[in-house]
Amino acid sequence: MNSYWQQWTHYLPIVVAIALVVLRPLWPLTRHAVTLAHEAGHALAAIATGRRLSGIRLHTDSSGLTLSRGRARGPGMVLTAAAGYLAPSLLGLAGGVLIATDQLRVLIWGAFALIVAMVPFIRNVFGLLVVVAAAVLFGGVAFYGSPSLQLHFGYVAIWILLFGNLRTIVEASRTRSGTSDFDQLRALTHLPRVLWVALLTVISVAAGVLAWRVQYPT
């Protein structure tokens, strides 16, 4: 009985993450975490490609906006536009690898450092509240959490990013606002919008599969 219970508690963080992403009353709150990672992806890609980061805004409807200055076209701009939907899944996969290699504290402190690094670039009050809340949460777990709490928190966090990013891609694929990342990628590359949706969906699913394999090897 004890080993059976331990097996189920091992998968409990995934169940919690799925509930936080799938259940309609919870998703509007959980989506802020995914948006935070999404905008961090835009920001990191902009900096990595030599663009100048102007600012990040996080909105009450859980949308976000990252502005950078530089060339209006070219590979750097394409990577910056695509990085939003790449970042949550890649961060989730990286977190899974860190947990699998007994680097849990690197995961939690690294996430905390990334969140704190975003503070100077936040350009609205609500966005600042979201970032500060995330920093307090990760900092509290890093400073005061027991090893068991840190482990389960880390699992839940990475699976929220993996499942949540896939849901945001599906939602965005159904929206024809003309201003989404997919619309921007279509305008930058002249490739069909559906191709970008398919590509980023495949990458998101692949990241989830790889994260599962490293965390729950057969």
Average pLDDT of the chain is: 92
Q: What is the mean pLDDT of residues 81-103?
A: 95
Cα–Cα distance for residue pair 89/187, rounded to 1 Å: 24
Instruction: Return the pLDDT at 141.
Output: 96
Residue 103 has pLDDT above 50, yes or no: yes
Instruction: Return the pLDDT at 7.
Output: 54
Please give the structure tokens belonging to residue 149: 């709490």
Residue 6 has pLDDT above 70, yes or no: no
Instruction: Return the pLDDT at 86.
Output: 96
Q: What is the mean pLDDT of residues 105-125?
A: 96
Residue among 218, 212, 207, 215 at smallest CA distance from 86: 207
Residue 217 has pLDDT above 80, yes or no: no
Instruction: Return the pLDDT at 218.
Output: 65
Q: What is the pLDDT of residues 25-43, one digit of tens each?
A: 999 999 999 999 999 999 9
Instruction: Return the pLDDT at 215.
Output: 81
Residue 199 has pLDDT above 60, yes or no: yes
Residue 1 pLDDT grade (very low, low, confident, very high; cuts 50, 70, 90): very low
**Helix, strand, or coil here: 180?**
coil
Q: What is the pLDDT of residues 127-170, one digit of tens each?
A: 999 999 999 999 999 999 999 899 999 999 999 999 999 999 99
Residue among 162, 130, 157, 160 at smallest CA distance from 145: 157
Please tell me the pTM assigned to this model.
0.92
Instruction: Return the pLDDT at 12.
Output: 87
Residue among 28, 62, 63, 36 at smallest CA distance from 179: 63
- In which residue are the tokens 């976000």 written? 64
The contacts of residue 201 (CB under 8 Å, 6+ apart) are: 166, 169, 170, 173
Residue 95 has pLDDT above 60, yes or no: yes
Cα–Cα distance for residue pair 119/115, rounded to 1 Å: 7
Q: What is the pLDDT of residues 58-69, one digit of tens each?
A: 999 999 999 999
